[in-house]
Amino acid sequence: MAGHDALLCDLDGVIYAGPAAIPGAVEAIAAAQAAGIAVGFVTNNASRPVEAVAEHLRSLGIDTDAEHVFGSAKAGARLAAADARERGVSAPTAMVIGAATLREEVLAAGFSLVEVNSEAQPDYVIQGFDPGLGWSDLAAAAFAIHRGARWVATNTDSTIPRAEGIAPGNGSLVAAVRNAVDVEPLVAGKPEPALMLLAAASLGAKRPMMVGDRLDTDVAGGNAAGFTSALVLTGVHTSADAAAAPEAQRPDVVVPSLAELLTAPALTTAGQGA
């Protein structure tokens, strides 16, 4: 961590696995905070309120609050707002295809909402995950995009884990709309850089390190943002995966777990046989 002023941590596979904290993770966060390193938590989840995420982290023993949790709902709303400013769209309107959390973030970003069943044409369609979405919601998004609305997706994770197994994620729903409109959305969440950049800017970080357990989202997102990236081996990907990864997904550092990240001798680069 030498030379870094912030730690941006993915959640599942880095901080916790299932209901329990990964051994040493809570202590590692506390040690980083004690050393004056800002710690933020980044998640592609666009339907869970950041307050709920912060409460979960506190229940594990981590000293944090909602201001240190960064989700793709806020990043998506901010990305759309920045695009509107760049395009000179004053008083922008948006149709939200997603959960209440995303609606709140879109309103907070300065948009007026156009409802799915409205005849009004929105300037933007902003799409995030909501298990209650149906065909009519996706069709309304496609119709608005066909008529010229700009399209923003909070994230494109194709699957999400559920207690019963693996289920379609927001990326699968985005793909359904994409198939109808033949247009690519602007994407806020990992592996795109918008979410990472939002977190770093909010923390006032100049030299952040992104820590995750997935090469294709966490590491790729950190690399895309220009940050140092670290892979922990407590989740999805292995050191062998890191060594074989394409350059865009190759971490700067590979460590067994978050606990070892703060111990300089344990740092091992992916290109050195980690």
pLDDT for 160: 83
Q: Which residue positions form the known binding site for Mg(2+)?
A: 10, 12, 213
Residues belonging to the binding site for substrate are 190
Fold match between 6-44+191-272 and 90-187?
yes
Higher-pLDDT residue of 2, 231: 231
Q: Is 12 a catalytic residue?
A: yes
Residue 262's pLDDT is 78
Q: Which fold has domain 90-187?
A: Rossmann fold (3.40.50)
**In the chain, domain spans:** 6-44+191-272, 90-187
Q: In the structure, what pLDDT confidence band is assigned to residue 163 with cuts at 50, 70 and 90?
A: confident
Coil, strand or helix: which one is 41? strand
Query: Which pLDDT does position 128 carry in this prediction?
Result: 98
User: 29: burial class by Cβ within 10 Å (0-12, 13-18, 19+)?
Assistant: buried
* Distance from the Cα of residue 211 to its chain's centroid: 12
pLDDT score at 274: 35
What is the pTM (predicted TM-score) of this model? 0.87
Cβ atoms of 129 and 170 closer than 8 Å: yes
DSSP sequence for 145-184: HHTT-EEEES---SEEEETTEEEE-HHHHHHHHHHHH--P
**Which listed residue (5, 10, 157, 218) is catalytic?**
10
**Tokens 């923390």, residue located:** 203
- Is the predicted pLDDT of residue 265 greater than 80, yes or no? no
- Residue 270 scores a pLDDT above 50: no
CA–CA dist 156, 61 (Å, integer): 31
pLDDT at 110: 97
What per-residue confidence (pLDDT) applies to 247? 95
Rounded CA separation 258/274 (Å): 15
Report the amino acid identity of residue 219: V
> Does 267 have pLDDT greater than 50?
no
Residue type, 137: D
The DSSP bridge pattern shows strands 228-232 and 93-97 to be unpaired
Confidence of residue 1 (pLDDT cuts 50, 70, 90): low
Percent of the chain with pLDDT over 70: 95
Q: Which residues contact 245 (CB under 8 A, 6 or more apart)?
A: 215, 219, 251, 270
For residues 109-128, give the mean pLDDT.
97
pLDDT confidence band for 261 (50 / 70 / 90): confident
Query: Which residues belong to the annotated binding site?
Result: 10, 12, 190, 213
Residue pLDDT, tens place only, 189-245:
999 999 999 999 999 999 999 999 999 999 999 999 999 999 999 888 989 999 999
pLDDT score recorded for residue 162: 76
At 128, is the secondary structure helix, strand, or coil? Answer: coil
Residue 97 has pLDDT above 60, yes or no: yes
**pLDDT tens track for 11-64:** 988 999 888 899 999 999 999 999 999 999 999 999 999 999 999 999 999 999
Q: 3-state DSSP call for residue 253?
A: strand
Marked catalytic residue, from 5, 12, 65, 218: 12
Output the pLDDT for position 273: 36
pLDDT value of residue 86: 97
Domain at 6-44+191-272, CATH class:
alpha beta
